[in-house]
């Protein structure tokens, strides 16, 4: 499933630059993840890089956007035009 950033976000700016899909952007109050662009880094990395770098652990699965690994991989291919590689 796509990820979401909770209101515990402190706007530290570390998640946005590590997102390979450019799914993270500053919202009105804190960073937001665009579920149409989030692949949880499937196709790019073994684990979501935003989760890895977040110092306050405010990034969690978004239950409103539940998706399988296959769906995330299909989104990766659609966004990049590439084939998934072993990360």
User: Which pLDDT score, from 0 to 100, does residue 1 have?
Assistant: 76
Sequence spans of domains, the chain: 3-80
- Looking at domain 3-80, which of 1.10.3720.10, 3.90.1150.10, 3.30.70.20, 3.40.50.620 is its CATH number? 3.30.70.20
Rg (CA), the chain: 12
9-58 per-position pLDDT tens digit: 999 999 999 999 999 999 999 999 999 999 999 999 999 999 999 999 99
Exposure letters 15-37 (e unless 16+ CB within 10 A, then b): bbebbebebbeeeeeebebebeb
User: Which runs of consecutive H residues, i.e. helices, occur in 2-81?
Assistant: 15-18, 49-53, 69-80
């Amino acid at each position: 499933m796509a990820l979401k950033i909770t209101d515990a976000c402190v706007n530290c700016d570390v998640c946005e630059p590590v997102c390979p899909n450019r799914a993270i952007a500053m919202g009105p109050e804190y960073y937001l993840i665009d579920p149409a662009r989030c692949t949880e880094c499937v196709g790019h990395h073994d684990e979501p890089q935003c989760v890895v770098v977040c110092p306050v652990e405010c990034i969690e699965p978004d239950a409103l956007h539940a998706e399988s690994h296959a769906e995330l991989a299909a989104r990766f291919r659609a966004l990049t035009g590439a084939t998934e590689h072993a990360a």
